[in-house]
A and B are shown apart, each in its own frame.
Chain A
Amino acid sequence: MIGDVITIIQDNWLLLLVGQYPNGPLGGIAATLILSVVSIVLAFPVGILIALARLSTSRLLLWPSTVLVYVARGVPLLMLIFWVYFVGPLVVGTRIPGFLTMLITLVVYEGCFLSEIIRGGIVALGRGQMEAARSLGHSYLAAMAWVILPQALYNMIPSILSQFVSTIKETTLGYVINVPELTFAANQINNQLLTQPFEVFFLLAIIYFVICWSLTRAAILLERRISNKRAGRGGTPTPPALEARALTAEP
């Protein structure tokens, strides 16, 4: 069985890596990673804006942003993808490519989830920071931009990284609207071979596992480091003042 998996890799590694790229659209792992990186980067400012709207006292900002977040939390991502896929072209008037459809959906969806993370980070910081910044003469927005957000976002780096992992996992849904990414490539291979579905999908699961697991590990390590820093323990342990062990441990 392992032999079959290796044969599949040897025959199709280019398709899994970049899809049909030079002769067709970019696909495979490359497309999956580009789609997830671009969507999380674009979702980030969207998330900050939604979080600020959710924290504001103006009803005009508070209500629409709250509704948006609840819709994103309550409706399956697949449903939102179909909204953009079928209704988007009717609104815009032209065809929207699958990749762009997926990108738009992920930016909105991830923006809403990131906004909850960012809002939590801002609330966890406490009111004192804002009050101190305001009393030093910053305006509300300046205090947000220079005092609150830098601290809140720094503390949120691990959560944002794990949200990135969820984004990678969510790009698989692009398969349903024929976006050429990794899952799509695996299905192409499966349709060519027809006889080894278990090996193909097992390989697919392993690839996703390797990517997501290493990023999850990175998030855990970062979290440990950041919480150490927050607790006042530096990255490098300070050497003890006196080598006490040398005096007593010698027989």
Chain B
Amino acid sequence: MEGFDLWAILGNAEYAAMLRHGIRFTFIVFVCSWLLAMSLGILLLVVRQLPGRLSNAVVTAYISYHRNVPTLVQLMLWYFGISALFPTPLQYWLTDHNGETIFAIIALGLCQAAYFSEDLRSGLRSISAGQAEAAKALGHGHVSSMRYVMMPQAIRNALPALINHTVSLFKNSSLAMAIGVSELTHAVQEVQSLSFRVFEAYTVATVIYLACSLILMAVGAALQARARAGGR
């Protein structure tokens, strides 16, 4: 093996372009599935608050399915399985329009929604009933008490768990390579097999992943510090 030479990869225009493409897709998958997961997570929480046992049972089933089935299996079920049930024109359309990326976003988003919803719920449960009663006494309706009194405190309590799960969603975006999304891990695989520079390729990818995760953790810590200051 030749000496360790990062520049052989970073300085090569072709490889650098492949890595840039990979980083772009990693971020597309991460941001889109985060937005999907967060909105669906809040929706699940709202449905769970509704009176009636049916809505509660449906949400509980949704959450335990997504928490107990491996993420990779969920990706495969969407990409290979559920896509086969779609009408043929839609299947063709998806094949032409980066179907694998869309399915990765759907699968990762739906999976992470279960975690986000549980985080928010346990944040909400840690607030004493007195807060809701006080809000009611001050004339807030249910919705506005949720919006102005309960949720701000619930989100503050849930922040550490939400940040942890955001970081793990970012890490899980690498699983999308198994269904052929050309994200960072996939790009590094290609660079590695073209350049035969195994050490260098994986070092670059590891540093990028680690840097992004650490930035996410640092942003999370800053948010927590701000929330703590606001809560005083």
Chain A residues with CB under 8 Å of chain B are: 70-71, 73-79, 82-83, 86-87, 90, 165, 168-170, 172-173, 175-176, 183, 187, 190, 197-202, 204-205, 208-209, 212-213, 216
Contacts and interface: CB of A to CB of B under 8 A. Distances in A.
Interface stretch (B48-56, B96-104, B128-136, B169-177): B169-177
Contacts of B171: 74-77
Interface stretch (B36-44, B143-151, B202-210, B221-229): B202-210
B192 interface: yes
Interface of B: 1, 64-65, 67-74, 76-77, 80-82, 84-85, 167, 171-175, 177-178, 185, 188-189, 192, 198-199, 202, 205-206, 209-210, 213-214, 217
A70 B177 CA distance: 23
A115 B232 CA distance: 33
Nearest to A176: B178
B202 A202 contact: no
> Which among B67, B199, B214 has the greatest number of chain A C-beta atoms within 10 A?
B67
Nearest to A205: B69
A87 B209 contact: no
A70 B206 contact: no
Contacts of B65: 205, 209
Given A198-B81, A202-B77, A173 B198 contact: no
Contacts of A165: 68
The prevalent SS among residues of B at the interface is helix
B76 A90 contact: no
Given A74-B209, A90-B198, A204 B76 contact: yes
A213 B68 contact: yes
Contacts of A212: 68-69
Contacts of A87: 198-199, 202
Contacts of B177: 78, 176
Contact of B192 (A74, A76, A86): A86
> Which among A75, A168, A202 has the greatest number of chain B C-beta atoms within 10 A?
A75
Contact of A172 (B72, B85, B188, B199): B72
Given A79-B185, A204-B73, A74 B217 contact: yes
Contacts of B174: 76, 78-79
Given A73-B167, A176-B178, A83 B202 contact: yes
B1 A201 contact: no
B185 A201 contact: no
A172 B73 contact: yes
A209 B69 contact: yes
Nearest to A198: B81
Contacts of B69: 169, 205, 208-209, 212
A118 B209 CA distance: 26
A-B interface, 5 closest residue pairs, ranked by CB to CB distance from nearest: A74-B213, A76-B174, A198-B81, A169-B70, A212-B68
A8 B198 CA distance: 40
A27 to B, nearest CB: 16
B223 to A, nearest CB: 18
A208 B192 CA distance: 33
Contacts of A74: 167, 171, 209-210, 213-214, 217
Contact of B202 (A79, A204, A205): A79
